[in-house]
Amino acid sequence: MTNEVLENIMTRRTIRRFREEQVGEEELQAVLDAGLYAPSAGGRQGVLFVVSQNKAVNEKLGRIKRNNSTVKMSTDTAYISKEQPSIADDPDIFNAFYDAPTVITLFVPKNFLFGPYDASAAAENMLLAAHSIGLGGCYIGSAWESFADPFGQEVLREWKVRTDYYAALHVLLGYPKDEQAPMARARKEGRIIRIN
pLDDT digit string (tens) for 15-69? 999 999 999 999 999 999 999 999 999 999 999 999 999 999 999 999 999 988 7
φ, ψ for residue 146, nearest 5 deg: -70, -20
Task: Locate all alpha helices (DSSP H) within 46-141, ordered by sequence.
Answer: 55-68, 115-132
Which pLDDT belongs to residue 74? 72
CB 49 within 8 A of CB 125: no
Q: Render each residue's pLDDT in the chain as its tens digit; 196 residues.
A: 889 999 999 999 999 999 999 999 999 999 999 999 999 999 999 999 999 999 999 999 999 999 887 666 677 777 777 777 777 777 787 899 999 999 999 999 999 999 999 999 999 999 999 999 999 999 999 999 999 999 999 999 999 999 999 999 999 999 999 776 777 778 888 989 999 9
Name the residue among 160, 110, 119 with its Cα closest to residue 141. Answer: 119
Q: Measure the CA–CA gap between 88 and 73, rounded to whole angstroms.
A: 5
CB neighbourhood size of 159 (10 A): 15
Q: To the nearest whole number, what is the mean pLDDT of the chain?
A: 92
Contacts of 94 (CB under 8 A, 6+ apart): 63, 66
Strand order of the β-sheet with 165-174 is 48-52, 102-109, 165-174, 136-140
Q: Measure the CA–CA gap between 157 and 166, rounded to whole angstroms.
A: 12
DSSP classification of residue 159 = H
SS3 50: strand
